Structure 1
Amino acid sequence: MSQEIPVGVAELLGRSNRLGSDPTVTNYGGGNTSVKVRQISPATGAEVELLYVKGSGGDLGTLKAGGLAVLELDRVRALDNVYRGVEFEDEMVGYFPFCAFGTGGAAPSIDTPMHGLVRYDHVDHLHPDAVIALACAADGEALVHKIWGGTVAWVPWKRPGWELGRALAEIAKDPRVIGAVLGGHGLTAWGTTSDEVEARNRQLIQQAQAYLDANSVAEPFGPVVPGHRNLDPDARRARAAELFPYLRAVASADRRQVGHFTDSGVVLDFLSREKLPRLVSLGTSCPDHFLRTKVRPLLLDTAPDAPIDEVVARLAQLHAEYRVEYQAYYDRHATPESPAIRGADPAVVLVPGVGMFSFGADKQTARVAGEFYVNAINVMRGAEGVSTYQPVAEAEKFNVEYWQLEEDKLKRRPKPKALAGRIALVTGGASGIGLATVRLLAEHGANVIVGDINQAGCQAVAADLGGADVASGVAMDVTDFDAVKAGIAAGIVAFGGIDLIVNNAGITRAGSLADTSLEDWDLQYQIMPRGSFLVAKAAENALRAQGLGGDIINICSKNSVFAGPNNIAYSSAKAAQAHMVRLLAAELGDIGVRVNGINPDGVVRGSGIFAGGWGASRAATYGVAEEDLGKYYAQRTVLKEEVLPEHIAMAVLALTNGTLPITTGLLVPVDSGVAAAFMR
């Protein structure tokens, strides 16, 4: 039976959403909050005290009731009787499910003990940059005492778990203490009401920031490096598009990654400063940071406008060194019980004068990795401004990065979708076959660049698919090589590269030899065979630079092999586009790019081409009513089924989702069986 959300839980959710939506308070997925409430148990009719706490892997800014773990508080506290000491504290997580109330809600996080053992109704643990700057300062304990006296405690670095919960519970017994700075980690505060703990959080964060602002040296990162210059915004984006596929190859040596680019003022300033190499080598400190950014970034130390061959050679050298260093880091600290190494490639690459490139298994993960490194920059600035940045020891970083509990969390993630990590460009993507294709590719995990001459249309489609973490709409006139190159560059900057191209843009002007004008002939050739050629040509460098293989799909037509009446320009243009499939398959096979084509019969429903006059023309040719044209096409086929945009999209999926991994140079009929167009 359903129950209303208790008032305290509603307050918790509101507070969590407010705190989690403020980047000065905590970052995406960071921190956890809780409330203790009394409820009547449906099973016994007796009152029971419950702990509602943000579950593992949730985000405060978007937290809902389903994201809370719900535990019986007396059972949580009773676990202290079975606790065997710090060497065994990880086993305590296995006991949490035995404390569940009802179904227990979300999986409890490792931070559950600090919420259950502290004897206040409301407990919040956050990762504000200003407080972490103090937590990661060499003399952080003295700074905390100086700012807050005895009202805020200092807890030396402890990995999240039962020991940390015990330490905070002991501190919270002092009624003068309202919170604690956790060394190398963050802030925990408590209160008797939701409003009180929220006010305390904000007060402590504001006081930390005020201290940093008032006492920081003028240039925490040191002076600007002599001769340094940032490229102007347009040049930065162009350089990012040029570099990104090479950087993606580096980040994807062990497993395919998607990218995110950041050239904010915070990032560019950090990259221009004298202390950059030292601070980059120290890496991040807060566990939430280095779990997402790895132990340190890769710093590409070439000039922002250096020749690309020089940059690629230096990048290869730095990448090799990074991998050796990361493997040595793993070997120094791994034990026989440690999880296997997850890959030795960087998650963040810094390029002075250009910006930051961050990577992840999907776009959101890549974006969040970049956001966390910006948090790390803010932390380093604050610490260097009033002290010296001193992150937790390398061994402690390893113990968090390769924590079995984190490994277990990774294993709970859903299995990746078939196209996860792949970046697709679909031309003519705002309507008809293109629209059905971008929807299906996105549904199966791809990031999609929706290219269309209709800029408003492609941007609306991208927004409908889920926005910037899923799709990007780019204006693209495939007859204009500059526009094609600009559109592909924009897509690369959005996602880091390009893996899958669907040349779908098309148009038709029906007519006999006598009726077909030179302009109609030229336009159809410019859009279809020439347009497909221009897209492939503009994408070739990225496909080669990534070293990840790829797919090119030309949406051709059964008319490429079927000689229908009064259609000379369209049909011959489609025949050229179809033969290009074979030619490109032969040429690009050496880099693992498969090239295939699809030959649909006339797709009437949802088609921009048919709605724009082509339908009326073909209906007149065949002597049927325009509204019956789809049915007419279907009746002349073997299967008697009308061909829909979704059928072509499914063929694209079959050719690109790993079902046909060694198929190239193939033209696939999707025409319900037009016997005259059978391939031979």
Structure 2
Amino acid sequence: MELIVTTPHSTAAELIARSNRLGQDPKNTNYAGGNTSAKGTETDPVTGQPVELLWVKGSGGDLGTLQESGLAVLRLDRMRALVDVYPGLEREDEMVAALDYCLHGKGGAAPSIDTAMHGLVDAAHVDHLHPDSGIAIATAADGPELTATIFGERVVWVPWRRPGFQLGLDIAAIKAENPQAVGCVLGGHGITAWGDTSEEAERASLWIIDTAAAYIAEHSRPEPFGPPLEGYAALPADQRRERAARLGATIRGIASQDRPMVGHFTDSDVVLDFLASAEHPRLAALGTSCPDHFLRTKVKPMVLDLPASATVEESLARLQELAVAYREDYQAYYDRHAVADSPAIRGADPLIVLVPGVGMFSFGKDKQTARVAGEFYVNAINVMRGAEGLSTYAPIDEAEKFRIEYWALEEAKLQRMQAPKPLATRIALVTGAAGGIGKATAKRLAAEGACVVVADLDLAKAQAAAAEIGGPDVAVGVAADVSDEAAVAAMVDAAVLAFGGLDLVVNNAGLSLSKSLLDTTAADWDLQHNVMAKGSFLVSKAAARVLIDQQLGGDIVYISSKNAIFAGPNNIAYSATKADQAHQVRLLAAELGEHGVKVNGVNPDGVVQGSGIFASGWGANRAAVYGVEEKDLGKFYAQRTILKREVLPENIANAVFALCGPDMSHTTGLHIPVDAGVAAAFLR
């Protein structure tokens, strides 16, 4: 018999196109939320006979960016046979492992918990989505009545049930019993729709979503969150961002007591309007309902219970009190519901912190996770608005939330995640980072898992470097004149607003004037010292405030120079300021150690490749001093070293990573020479 080799099926391509359309519109579903499927026939490459298959979005994927590799492909005959061996609700989790025995072919994604819903429902195409409008109906106290009123017989109410095999059986039965229906509202959760064709399923999904949204818009009561709360209105934009930057480091420290977190700040109108309304304390305390929401936001947020008119000092003190209370409350929640085989508590810190008048801080293991957590809480606010506008918001109870949050299947998913990179959750600020040593350092830190703020005098170049490194979830570019105290403060504030705080600061910004003593002017001296000696002092001072407020320790690294040790001709201003920087390392290491902050330095030899300093005239001047062609300066420097190697920007970046990485946790006050061996610059 001839072996048949199959190519990607048109059904799968059609499903991917539908999924992408649905997932790319936030009104339809949240990031990585929901799943879609299609059934079709393909030739079995082993038997040569037709076989019925199910293509379904796999575990952990995102509809908006779904590709074929994100689909699980299962044999329908084997899936349907599972009904006959289903051991009942108490053992339904076992069915997830059984799905692996239904897979067709190799590769593809792992089947998700919702696979049974897609396979057992007698429809060729099924969409399960988490639209704000649909969840608003699903979480309303009179959701069944609203479903009948809004949709008639075309949509059926399904009482809350945790996702799994039994829910798939329930929806399959409802579909069979209601041939006129095009979908259902899942109590406390979302919607499911179906169709005989991909177009029919998509049309049904959009009809449910849009019909619910239109009904809410037309029938919602005024002020669903209650009347404005006096003193809680949003501060002006500049004031709230200034306040957010001042509070951000402390809030990140609160959210990172169990494990370090990266942060994201949002001051959208949705958040500010919610926090300005009288009912926000009650609604926030009820928590979110859709599993996709609370798995990323925790069951409820931490809310600062002070008006926007409170001082920064009052807010900081109250946040610390609330953090203690939040941890105690979360521990009590865990203790109320944990059983003998429950996974260990995963941390009691908040993932969402709401500050009236200012906005929302959200947290996660990386920037994307933190940003998405914030997006999910915005979804939750929209859901609460819809439910309160028509009825009363009534999410699933906390026992059900706990069953999902500490589900063995959810724990297994977490255990399958890749180990974090060495600098994961660390937030780095690199000055002078648009090129040369700074850019190489920023790239290396990002490659090791850090979020990076690329600071440079030239904003366009800083932004271009950040985009090259990885874009806004990895790196952001900011403008900064390090000799200007206000500009430095703004730079550090930008870091806090971008990623939640700071952990790692690299003082790299610099310039150099190659002149003899008699040719060096007072203006030359001042310029050299303002940028490097004063500049690194200002950056370290502003960053230290954040590091101390966070209480998470941290690193400050100075890119000094072998010239801090070595005395050479015609660079009095440059070498003197490098000696100043070198001693700042020692002074700050002694002062900041009590806060867990390490301060170290790197002493390079001349780095010619990619250097803005050398390109701006320093290279020509140094070449003239040494009597070589400028193009040969790097080779000249290499030949005067013990190892006869040219020092490259990447070599300095490697040293910075070594100082800040996990293997040098007990080293501070050190200067590492990266000069290929210059005996005159040996540390003594």
Same fold (TM over 0.5): yes
Report the aligned-residue RMSD.
1.0
Distance in 2 (alpha carbons) for counterparts of 1:99 and 1:625: 70
**Could you tell me which residue of structure 1 aligns to residue 394 of structure 2?**
390
Moved more, 164-173 or 665-674: 164-173
Q: 535, 539, 544: which is aligned to 1:535?
A: 539
| Contact 2:457–2:480, Cα closer than 8 Å, also in 1 | yes
Q: 80, 88, 106: which is aligned to 2:83?
A: 80
- Quote how far apart the aligned CAs of 1:311 are: 1.7
Q: For residues 642-661 of structure 1, what are the structure 2 equivalents within 5 Å? A: 642-661=646-665
- Quote how far apart the aligned CAs of 1:43 are: 2.1
**Could you tell me which residue of structure 1 aligns to residue 299 of structure 2?**
295
| Contact 2:507–2:559, Cα closer than 8 Å, also in 1 | yes
Distance in 2 (alpha carbons) for counterparts of 1:175 and 1:514: 95
Task: Write the letter of the residue equivalent to 1:535.
Answer: V
Match of 2:669, SS state, is coil
**Could you tell me which residue of structure 2 aligns to residue 152 of structure 1?**
155
- Quote how far apart the aligned CAs of 1:313 are: 1.8
Task: Write the letter of the residue equivalent to 2:186.
Answer: L
Distance in 2 (alpha carbons) for counterparts of 1:560 and 1:176: 82
- The reply to whether residue 7 of structure 1 matches residue 10 of structure 2 is yes
- Quote how far apart the aligned CAs of 1:8 are: 1.2
Q: For residues 340-355 of structure 1, what are the structure 2 equivalents within 5 Å? A: 340-355=344-359
Task: Write the letter of the residue equivalent to 2:356.
Answer: P
| Contact 1:451–1:475, Cα closer than 8 Å, also in 2 | yes
**Could you tell me which residue of structure 1 aligns to residue 417 of structure 2?**
413
Distance in 1 (alpha carbons) for counterparts of 2:663 and 2:230: 54
Q: 448, 453, 462: which is aligned to 1:458?
A: 462
- Quote how far apart the aligned CAs of 1:305 are: 4.2
**Could you tell me which residue of structure 2 aligns to residue 524 of structure 1?**
528
Q: 230, 234, 246: which is aligned to 1:230?
A: 234
- Quote how far apart the aligned CAs of 1:3 are: 4.4
Distance in 2 (alpha carbons) for counterparts of 1:426 and 1:8: 49
Distance in 2 (alpha carbons) for counterparts of 1:177 and 1:465: 50
- Quote how far apart the aligned CAs of 1:44 are: 2.1
| Contact 2:452–2:475, Cα closer than 8 Å, also in 1 | yes
- The reply to whether residue 324 of structure 1 matches residue 324 of structure 2 is no
- Runs of 5+ consecutive residues of structure 1 not aligned to the other structure: none
**Could you tell me which residue of structure 2 aligns to residue 267 of structure 1?**
271
Task: Write the letter of the residue equivalent to 2:70.
Answer: G
Aligned length: 680
Q: For residues 112-127 of structure 1, what are the structure 2 equivalents within 5 Å? A: 112-127=115-130
- The reply to whether residue 286 of structure 1 matches residue 290 of structure 2 is yes
Q: For residues 482-561 of structure 1, what are the structure 2 equivalents within 5 Å? A: 482-561=486-565
**Could you tell me which residue of structure 2 aligns to residue 37 of structure 1?**
40
Deviations 1:554-596 (A, max 9, x none): 0000011001111111111101101110000000000000000
**Could you tell me which residue of structure 1 aligns to residue 471 of structure 2?**
467
Deviations 1:305-348 (A, max 9, x none): 42333222211211111111111100110001111100001110
| Contact 2:233–2:272, Cα closer than 8 Å, also in 1 | no
**Could you tell me which residue of structure 1 aligns to residue 146 of structure 2?**
143
- The reply to whether residue 570 of structure 1 matches residue 574 of structure 2 is yes
Q: For residues 306-317 of structure 1, what are the structure 2 equivalents within 5 Å? A: 306-317=310-321
Distance in 1 (alpha carbons) for counterparts of 2:73 and 2:675: 55
Deviations 1:45-104 (A, max 9, x none): 221111111110100011111111111111111111221000000111111111111115
Task: Write the letter of the residue equivalent to 2:76.
Answer: L
- Quote how far apart the aligned CAs of 1:538 are: 1.1
Q: 169, 193, 197: which is aligned to 1:166?
A: 169
- The reply to whether residue 99 of structure 1 matches residue 82 of structure 2 is no
Distance in 2 (alpha carbons) for counterparts of 1:461 and 1:169: 53
Distance in 2 (alpha carbons) for counterparts of 1:374 and 1:465: 29
Distance in 2 (alpha carbons) for counterparts of 1:2 and 1:156: 44
Match of 2:662, SS state, is coil
Task: Write the letter of the residue equivalent to 1:355.
Answer: G
Distance in 2 (alpha carbons) for counterparts of 1:408 and 1:227: 46
Percent identity, aligned pairs only, is 63
- The reply to whether residue 108 of structure 1 matches residue 127 of structure 2 is no
**Could you tell me which residue of structure 1 aligns to residue 668 of structure 2?**
664
Distance in 1 (alpha carbons) for counterparts of 2:522 and 2:614: 22
Give runs of ≥4 in structure 1 deviating > 4 Å: none
Distance in 1 (alpha carbons) for counterparts of 2:623 and 2:6: 60
Distance in 2 (alpha carbons) for counterparts of 1:493 and 1:537: 18
- When residues 549 and 205 of structure 1 are mapped into structure 2, their CA distance, relative to the original with a 3 A threshold, is same
Task: Write the letter of the residue equivalent to 2:268.
Answer: S
Task: Write the letter of the residue equivalent to 1:146.
Answer: T
Task: Write the letter of the residue equivalent to 1:561.
Answer: I
- The reply to whether residue 377 of structure 1 matches residue 381 of structure 2 is yes
Distance in 1 (alpha carbons) for counterparts of 2:129 and 2:584: 57
Distance in 2 (alpha carbons) for counterparts of 1:533 and 1:272: 40
**Could you tell me which residue of structure 2 aligns to residue 619 of structure 1?**
623
Distance in 2 (alpha carbons) for counterparts of 1:445 and 1:210: 44
- When residues 104 and 153 of structure 1 are mapped into structure 2, their CA distance, relative to the original with a 3 A threshold, is farther
| Contact 1:97–1:104, Cα closer than 8 Å, also in 2 | no
Distance in 2 (alpha carbons) for counterparts of 1:442 and 1:512: 39
Match of 2:543, SS state, is helix
Deviations 1:420-467 (A, max 9, x none): 100000000100000001111111110001000010000111122222
Match of 1:528, SS state, is helix
